[in-house]
Amino acid sequence: MNLLNNRPLLVFILFLSIFLLFSNGKVTSSMDVDVLRYSQNLIDTGSIGSESKLSNGTVYSPKTHLFYPLEGIGIILPVAFISKLSQFFNIDSTFLIFSSGSILFALAMMFMYKLFSLLVSNRKSLLFVLAIGLATPVFVLSKMLFPEPFVMFAISGSLYYYFKFSIKRSEISLLYCGLLTGLTLIMRPDSPIFYSLMIILVLVKLFNYKASTKKYLYFFAGIVVFTTVFFFNNYLKFGSFIETGYTVNKYHRNEVITALQSDIIELPDRIQSKLITAQEAVKADKNSNISKQLVSEYYSLDKSLKDKNSYLLDLKENEKFRINDVLAAKGDEGFARLLKDYFYGLYLILIFPNRAIFFLSPIFLFVVFGIKGFYERFKLESIFYSLIFFAYLSLYALRAPYGYSGTAAWGIRYMLPMFLILSLFLTGVDKFLNPDHPKYKLFKYSFLSLLVLSALFQIIGSAINYQHVQMPLENVITQVYGKENIRMSRIQLMTKANSSLLLNNAQILTGNVPEVIKPHLSEDVIKYNIKPQYTNNSGPNDWFFYDLVIAEQKQLTGNLKNPSNYKLLFFVLIMLAIGSSYYVIRGKKIIKT
């Protein structure tokens, strides 16, 4: 009985089952590779760093002479734990590991439901949380090992406990708010925006409440935990309390080059010494664990030398794109370009028919009607949350004209946590959704229509692996225009309407060539590997259970030892989704009866 009355838990089960039903259980992006390999490296060696590059998304530290993933320790540690758990139970696929995003997003939806329940009725709380979970890129990206599920879990929890303290005066909520606010720091490099403004907001609120010293101590006791981890981790890796790795090549360029040159001079002697030792061990007993370990160490050192030579070459030739180089013009010309790029970036992020927030999730257009109502109830919070949103927006608006922020995946990934802020403003439409409002029916049916439309867009986004759009375009551009112009694909995937994943995914679903490469097709492009596979293979290609149960193509599930177990899981998830949705809507009424 208590379980069926626990609406937040039912919401968690509902979203988790839906996210898992539409998951793919496999590597999708290069960031997935980064997280998986460095998590495994942590399990194998006890260190996050490595002498050689384990993946592309890495940075070299001149302090430790090791490569580190750009993903924060707050991402690597949990995935390493889940990976170890998967190995312990001998699970025969990566499904459990890739479920981490679904679990964390589902927890974030639970937090937001609890938050909304403090502001509006249970029914409307469910409506608003459905808008975040099913009508935004959250639904699509729940299947990937990106940092955003981790960040959204922390931010949603921080927001919930802030409002719980603000409305119910729960002292312990300040501790949890501080803990989760601090947790964001070790997850993404843009988290200091939320972190700093959230701290100021809490302090202003405490000051307005004339709070006791005990309440301040509760909050700072929470904040200090992960803030200490953040500073300590940065110092151990880079010798700086605030360097996370993203700017080490910019601000410590000379030190990086010097350290790399030193390694390149020193490594050949180590490699030769290791080779001799390994050869002697192999001669003595080539099947022994010692000889295998020495051979592995030899190859690892050899790869380290190659990786460091390559990294140094890239650094010297400045092949890596940097937004600062694009905006390097000085004086009035530079400022004019900056201003132009900024407003063009706002257009691309907010409304342009490609990746824009209000294009892929039109339900959030209702924020225009809701922001006034939210401001009337929470003036202080409205100001600070608006500052957080526009800080994120401004940061990525400057980058938008030169490529997508994040991967070529669905939507604008780096802006994903801001849907949490927008959803708070969305609750301001509450008064329009009351039956006594003169335009109730207009708002009700408009809201529900846009909710359904937004959810449909996300299903189209989830059905097709974005690589089926990105890779053909990169292939054409590389071979037609040259490898040095490959960045044209990143710009096109952000700034051209025909590059919209919504449009291209719909094309692939119906068995057609992706719209994005049609302008490049001509008689002489046949040799550039534009295969007819896009016209022959219609239907979804990025759903684990669709492949396993319905299509039986096994392109995602062919390596499973016990597929019957997953078929059983499929039906269990369906029952959980149906049961939890039923009880979260009607359960309380039925139980009372």
Task: Give 485-498 pLDDT, tens digit per residue.
Answer: 667 778 888 888 88
Determine the average pLDDT of the residues in 387-394. Answer: 97
- Given pLDDT bands bounded at 50, 70 and 90, which one contains residue 533? very low
Instruction: For residue 507, give the nearest of 551, 481, 548, 473 by alpha carbon.
Output: 473
* Average pLDDT of the residues in 380-391: 97
Reply yes or no on whether the pLDDT at 325 is more than 60: no
b vs e for 144-168, b when ≥16 Cβ sit within 10 Å of the residue's Cβ?
bbbbbbbbbbbbbbbbbbbbbbbee
What confidence score (pLDDT) does residue 103 get?
A: 94
Rounded to an integer, the average pLDDT of 244-255 is 88
What pLDDT digit, counting tens, does each position of 190-226 carry?
A: 999 999 999 999 999 999 999 999 999 999 999 999 9
Average pLDDT, the chain: 87
- State the average pLDDT over residues 346-363: 96
Cβ atoms 83, 41 nearer than 8 A: no
Taking the C-alpha atoms of 120, 123, 126 and 128 in order, what is their torsion angle to the nearest 10 degrees?
-50
Q: What is the pLDDT of residue 539?
A: 76
What is the pLDDT confidence band of residue 91, given thresholds at 50, 70 and 90? low
% of the chain at pLDDT higher than 90: 56
Stated pTM of the model: 0.91
- Which residue has better confidence, 335 or 530? 335
Residue 326: is it exposed, middle or buried by C-beta count within 10 angstroms (0-12/13-18/19+)? middle
327, pLDDT greater than 60: no
Report whether 170 contacts 126 (CB < 8 A): no
> Can you tell me the mean pLDDT for 62-88?
88
Distance of CA 513 to the CA centre of its chain: 28
Quote the CA–CA distance of 111 and 163 in Å, as a whole number.
11
Quote the pLDDT of residue 535.
Answer: 40
- Distance between CA 16 and CA 546 in Å, rounded? 17
* Tokens, residue 152: 């959204």
- Full DSSP string of 151-174: HHHHHHHHHHHHHHHHHH--HHHH
